[in-house]
Amino acid sequence: MREKSQVDDIDRSIYDIKNENLDEYSVGEGLTPEIVRKISEEKNDPEWMRDFRLKSLEVYHSISVPDWGPSIDGLDMDHIVTYIRPNTKMSAKWSDVPDDIKDTFERLGIPQAERESLAGVGAQFDSELVYHNVKEEVAAQGVIYSDLESAMYGPYADMIREHFMKLIPPQDHKFAALHGAVWSGGSFVYVPPGVKVEIPLQSYFRLNAPGAGQFEHTLIIVDEGADLHFIEGCSAPKYNVANLHAGAVELFVGKNAKLRYSTIENWSKNMYNLNTKRAIVEEGGTMEWVSGSFGSHVSYLYPMTILQGNDSHMEFTGITFAGKGQNLDTGAKVVHTGARTSSYINTKSISKDGGISTFRSSVVIGKNAKKSKNAVSCQSLMLDSISRSDTIPAMDIRTKDADVGHEAKIGKVSDDAVFYLMSRGISEEDARAMIVSGFADNVSKELPLEYAVEMNNLIRLEMKGSIG
Amino acid sequence: MSEVLLQATNLSARVEDKEILHNVDITIGKGETHVLMGPNGAGKSTLGNVLMGSPKYELTEGKILFKGEDMTQEGADKRAKAGMFLSFQEPLEVPGLTMESFIRTAMEQKSGKRMKLMEFRKQLKEALDILQMDEEYAKRSLNTGFSGGEKKKAEILQLMMMRPDLAILDETDSGLDVDAVRLVAKGIEKFQKERGGSLLIITHSTRILDSLDVDQTHIMVDGRMVAAGDGSLVAEINQGGYEKYLA
């Protein structure tokens, strides 16, 4: 007989590194105004932020959970520890970071990434920034890269107040409201007019404690004519308690500015990933998204772009990989309000071992968005007959001269192609992995090399034991 | 006869409920060139695919020995590693997998050794030059968007790089123009003469055989081997067709 392998679950040991529970303090499991006040106090919020949190909490209690996507019944908000602070203060030097935390990061490759001349690393352990460093050359250009908490008291306090949760208001949905109430940690980036940041800024988020939610907030403002590439990487260890991630990312792209936002999310497979990401683009600006969604039990993720300025542009390149027990609902939204705006959405999804992958796109072209263009292309690959792939495109076009296109393809890995590769001496497992990696190639091409390597490793890892 | 490389005995194979091969025998010696001819639908391609271990066909009877080892139950990857190669009649497209990285991976998997990039590029360039293929092909996705002729050339490119002991060429010349046949034949000749490789050439035409010395010709009709002879049988078939072999 031909040799076949059967592995029930993939080996995630390199991603599922657990530390002993380091947390000296947590706020109990329910969510009340007292808890939110406590969080606010702990974080030393300015008054406006404390009020904002309490208002968000009211909104949170007034709206119900979404009923249109994958089930999130497994989430019990009353038993989610919303805020856990690690036993370390902000640290500017790597040597000050406690050894066990350092150990976890080292196994995730962060110091290497740092050494490989990435511009700055803000790594988040639980909800607090523990390690933060911006290379001098970037800071010398006037670029601000810091945690959001301390920036609220610095010279950018007004700027933050002006932008914080303006793109994603708490009223938007229940988890945006929750985020507004309990957000903690995250990054603030400001790139002044005309400054081109040559090397990507990077941040690595990580969840650690059982039952802990993570509500980091990322606020990036790229001023007129400036240029930035920001990379967000996520990985979480595996626990049996349901975990929730409800972060928010708000991106402001100025006139003729350009922002590329790359993410590889690799959550453990019990995670509810209900992340909200949104960008607004002014005249002549460009927003580029590169998004890889791996891991998690359930994901709702649809980065949205508002093309407000005339001649602004957006490109979205995404890949989603849903394996056993995963229901990943991902896609992209774009709203064209400026004239001659253009957007291009290109996604790939892979489903395997009964995984469900749903692509949802929403394209709105307003009545003033004359001569705007949009193209959506989504391709799905199903690796077996028990997996599922759906495409749900929505379009709302209010001007007659818009140019809109949609293309969807669903396919399977053909046995003939597998035989073809095998006839050259490649094992069945490798042959399938090569076909799937090839399918994902246009996404990995958009990523910086080390991330492309990581993504291919993830695909390889996910493909292990896929032959039955 | 020279040392035996491939010995297939009493092969019967079917796809779903339809038996296509009936008790077929074929033996190929080291360095020999065999030609397999027969009318359309005779089962020639099936034999090529069965020898290579295609999962599409079920082998109901028979045994395949390669270099004395029993390959009957082995997968295509094991057969390839042992030194077998099949040039596909319809090569598959694999988007996103570049020819270059595919060939290199395959060579490394076969040899079990890492290959130096410079050495690989040098060999690849030589092979591309013989086939008059632009170096750009190596950077393109495997067979993706290639014309029929380009796909066939890419198969021979792989043959030249992989350097197997036995190459089964499944209608490699069909659909090629005169110039392309000449180039492909050149690549095959190089494999035959320099490598000393064995060939099983499944073909309808003689053009590809012009520059090759044929040791044996097999005629297959309705899934059975009905005649065998030396290279002169090819010319005979060209003149008289298969009529006298049809039942």
Contacts of A423 in chain B (CB under 8 A): 52-53, 76-77, 79-80, 85-86, 88
Contacts of B80 in chain A (CB under 8 A): 422-426
Answer with the residue of higher pLDDT: A100 or B136. B136
Contact with chain B for residue A74, Cβ under 8 A: no
Q: Do A438 and B95 touch (CB under 8 A)?
A: yes
- Predicted pLDDT at B37: 94
Q: Domain containing B58: what range?
A: 4-245
In chain B, what percentage of residues exceed pLDDT 90? 78
Co-location of A395 and A455 in the same domain: no
Co-location of A366 and A442 in the same domain: no
pLDDT beyond 90 at B126 = yes
Q: How far apart are CA A369 and CA B219, in angstroms?
A: 69
Co-location of A401 and A434 in the same domain: no
Co-location of A359 and A455 in the same domain: no
pLDDT band at A118 (very low <50, low <70, confident <90, very high): very low
A438: nearest CA partner in chain B: B96
Residue A9 belongs to some domain of the structure:
no
Contact with chain A for residue B235, Cβ under 8 A: no
Q: Do B80 and A424 touch (CB under 8 A)?
A: yes
CB-neighbour burial class of residue B195 (10 A; exposed 0-12, middle 13-18, buried 19+): middle
Q: Do B158 and A424 touch (CB under 8 A)?
A: yes
Query: What's the mean pLDDT in A134-161?
Result: 85
Q: How far apart are CA A220 and CA A233, in angstroms?
A: 16
Q: Do A416 and B56 touch (CB under 8 A)?
A: yes
Q: Do A441 and B79 touch (CB under 8 A)?
A: no
Out of A1, A420, A441, whose CB is closest to B92? Answer: A420
In chain B, what percentage of residues exceed pLDDT 70? 99
Co-location of A459 and A361 in the same domain: no
Query: What's the mean pLDDT in A77-104?
Result: 51
Out of A414, A430, A438, whose CB is closest to B96? Answer: A438
Mutate to test the interface with A, among B77, B103, B110, B168 (most CBs of A within 10 A): B77
Q: Do A417 and B92 touch (CB under 8 A)?
A: yes
pLDDT beyond 90 at B246 = no
pLDDT band at A97 (very low <50, low <70, confident <90, very high): low
- Predicted pLDDT at B206: 76
Q: Domain containing A427: what range?
A: 415-468
- Predicted pLDDT at A98: 55
Q: Do B81 and A425 touch (CB under 8 A)?
A: yes
- Predicted pLDDT at A124: 47
Contact with chain B for residue A467, Cβ under 8 A: no
Co-location of A80 and A212 in the same domain: yes
Contact with chain A for residue B53, Cβ under 8 A: yes
Q: Are B25 and B10 in contact (CB under 8 A)?
A: yes
Q: How far apart are CA A372 and CA A404, in angstroms?
A: 8
Residue A15 belongs to some domain of the structure:
no
User: How close B53 gets to chain A, by Cα (Å)?
Assistant: 8
The pLDDT tens digits of the residues spanning B190-230 come to 999 888 999 999 988 777 888 788 999 999 999 999 999 99
pLDDT band at A116 (very low <50, low <70, confident <90, very high): very low
Question: Picking from A130-144, A397-411, B6-20, B127-141, which range would have the lowest pLDDT averaged per residue?
Answer: A130-144
Contact with chain B for residue A468, Cβ under 8 A: no
Co-location of A371 and A433 in the same domain: no
User: A150 φ, ψ to 5°?
Assistant: -75, -30
Q: How many CB atoms lie within 10 A of CB A412?
A: 14
Contacts of A319 in chain B (CB under 8 A): none
What count of residues does chain B have? 247
Query: What's the mean pLDDT in A266-293?
Result: 91
Co-location of A47 and A62 in the same domain: yes
pLDDT beyond 80 at A84 = no
- Predicted pLDDT at A239: 45
User: How close B55 gets to chain A, by Cα (Å)?
Assistant: 8
Task: Output the domain CATH number for residue B193.
Answer: 3.40.50.300
Co-location of A286 and A430 in the same domain: no
- Predicted pLDDT at A9: 43
Mutate to test the interface with B, among A5, A412, A419 (most CBs of B within 10 A): A419
The pLDDT tens digits of the residues spanning A323-365 come to 999 999 999 999 999 999 999 999 999 999 999 999 999 999 9
Residue A5 belongs to some domain of the structure:
no
In chain A, what percentage of residues exceed pLDDT 90? 51
Contacts of A437 in chain B (CB under 8 A): 96-97
- Predicted pLDDT at B10: 97
Query: What's the mean pLDDT in A135-152?
Result: 83
Question: Picking from A167-176, A219-228, A437-446, which range would have the lowest pLDDT averaged per residue?
Answer: A437-446
The pLDDT tens digits of the residues spanning A298-313 come to 999 999 999 999 999 9
pLDDT beyond 80 at B66 = yes
Answer with the residue of higher pLDDT: A458 or A254. A254
Co-location of A182 and A204 in the same domain: yes
Q: Chain B neighbours among A 328-367 (CB < 8 Å)?
A: none
The pLDDT tens digits of the residues spanning A39-58 come to 899 889 999 999 999 999 99
Structurally, chain A folds into a number of domains equal to: 2
C-alpha distances (whole Å) from A160 to each of A83, A139, A214 are 22, 19, 21
Co-location of A249 and A322 in the same domain: yes
Q: Chain B neighbours among A 400-459 (CB < 8 Å)?
A: 414-417, 419-428, 430-431, 434-435, 437-442
ipTM (interface pTM): 0.96
Residue A408 belongs to some domain of the structure:
yes
Co-location of A40 and A115 in the same domain: yes
pLDDT beyond 50 at A83 = no
The pLDDT tens digits of the residues spanning B158-182 come to 999 999 999 999 999 888 888 899 9
Identify the domain boundary among A378, A398, A414.
A414
- Predicted pLDDT at A107: 52
- Predicted pLDDT at B111: 87
How many A/B residue pairs have CB atoms within 8 Å?
87
Out of B73, B88, B106, whose CB is closest to A426? Answer: B106
Structurally, chain B folds into a number of domains equal to: 1
